[in-house]
Structure 1
Amino acid sequence: FAAERVQPFKQVFRELYVVTAQEKADGTVSHRYAGQQVNPKQAVALWGGRGWVVNQDEGVRRTFHDAGLSASVTFLGDTFTPAEVEGLTIEGVSFSKRGEWKPLPLVDIPPRIFSEVMRDLDLVVSVAHRGGVDPEASASTVDMRAALLRETCSLLKIDNVRIKQPQVLIDGRLSNYSVHLGSAVTHRQPGGALCLVPVHAQHRGRLFLPFADDDPKTAEVISKVLLLARDEDIKDPTILDQLRSMP
């Protein structure tokens, strides 16, 4: 710090992603980012810059030559092109031996490789989220969610939440967190992504929002913020396991 040295690549506070209990149960495919829609042209450019190879018939693939492993991202639909209008919808992430296609158990993947793959996916989902056609990431919607959160936290007398658009920063008792106002992607700070799976059923766990029309993504953002703002009350073992497994 005193010498003002700059890291050649991010090492200190580098995000860490670990296999969750749900992924262990799923076996060979991670659905952590399933359903997330990204802008094809932007996503392909991001993947290409991080060593991924794009194949219109097979999805996106990155090979770790030293480890003899490959990671694959599949999408809903059979094929895609960077000119897709409706966006790419991520389906799953799997790993296999280089040159083979049989998926390997996620628990057998070296932690560093698993983390780097999920870090790449998190970047793509956060940066290339379909802001152009999806109002979730538009400036006006982000502003609305920020205002809604301020009012909600004020009403509930929650004082450990700060808004620094497009992120919401939460100073919890167990850790610190960030929630993206557009995509609802959640991170522990410093550390890795938290896999908080939203429930979109019609009448299950609905969050009452008195200030705005009902919107599942807005409800997801606010519910995650409220949950993490009172992280000492979390009882869900899958969330607690993630918090304990991160440094």
Structure 2
Amino acid sequence: MRFARRDGATWQPAPVAEVPPLVFTEAMRDVDLFVGVTSIATDPQWADRGDDRFGRYWRSSVGAALTPSAQVRRDALARLLPRLRIADRVSLSERHLHVRGNLRGYRIHLGSGNIMMEPDDAYLCIVAARDRTQRLHLPFEDDPMLSTILSKAIMLAADDRITDPTVLRQLTRRPAPDDTPAPARRGRRDRRAQTGSSWPMG
């Protein structure tokens, strides 16, 4: 990442030491959000490209340490969850939101939003609806992943009411003896949260 200062009609490189602190911190926050949502860890379908080249990386990311933005997300969840109707079905650990459904238990990673099902740690793929008018609205829109995680938790807390056949097949699937949570076996992708940046970066 590079910073530049406008000089007439052009941009001239600016040393980091000359960047105002507020501009620097906001730019770094944008970079963190950008990296967080563009990682292949948020897109399990990448594992289907080639001979599972990214499977090990994806699986390690499911339980990876939280980035600073994900840590802020965890703090926000700690304040929000006790106020929700599903408060008695959810709990927070260091890196996951745990959800107790009626059919299974689930772990939602607070960084990637990926879901692992208990007891076999099978990956659960939930595709976001194309109609975004019914999305979960929060009092702030800085973190689309927070909305995604909450939406998944609310749905999974009532997993016995899910009617989508694709999701139901995953919930009732019996793991094979050598089964692993490799996403290449699932065939559909989680829709990634998206963010943009207005900072001039090169």
- Identify the TM-score tier after normalising by the shorter chain: 0.5 to 0.7
CA gap 1:237/1:179 in 2 versus in 1, 3 angstroms: same
CA gap 1:121/1:138 in 2 versus in 1, 3 angstroms: closer
Q: Deviation of residue 246 (structure 1)?
A: 3.2
Q: Percent identity?
A: 28
Q: Report the equivalent of 1:80.
A: none
- Find 1:196's aligned residue among 126, 138, 148: 126
Does residue 1:37 correspond to 2:49, yes or no?
A: no
Q: Deviation of residue 221 (structure 1)?
A: 1.4
Q: Report the equivalent of 1:171.
A: 100
Q: Deviation of residue 205 (structure 1)?
A: 3.2
Per the normalisation by structure 2, the TM-score is 0.54
Q: Report the equivalent of 2:73.
A: 145
Q: In structure 2, how many angstroms separate the alpha carbons of the residues matched to 1:185 and 1:222?
A: 12
CA deviation profile, 1:194-227 (whole Å, cap 9, x unmatched): 011234x6834321112x3343222111111111
Letter of the 1:189 counterpart: E
Does residue 1:231 correspond to 2:186, yes or no?
A: no
- Secondary structure at 1:242 match in 2: helix
Q: Which runs of 5+ in 1 are unaligned?
A: 1-34, 40-88, 97-113, 132-136
Q: Using CA pairs under 8 Å that are at least 6 residues apart, name the structure with larger relative contact order, 1 or 2.
A: 2
Per the normalisation by structure 1, the TM-score is 0.46
Give the aligned length: 136
Tell me which protein shows more strand as a share of its residues.
1
CA gap 1:127/1:188 in 2 versus in 1, 3 angstroms: closer
Tell me which protein shows more helix as a share of its residues.
2
CA deviation profile, 1:117-165 (whole Å, cap 9, x unmatched): 886353244367xx9xxxxx523x3233223333433222321101002
Q: Deviation of residue 236 (structure 1)?
A: 1.4
Q: Which runs of 5+ in 2 are unaligned?
A: 1-36, 176-202
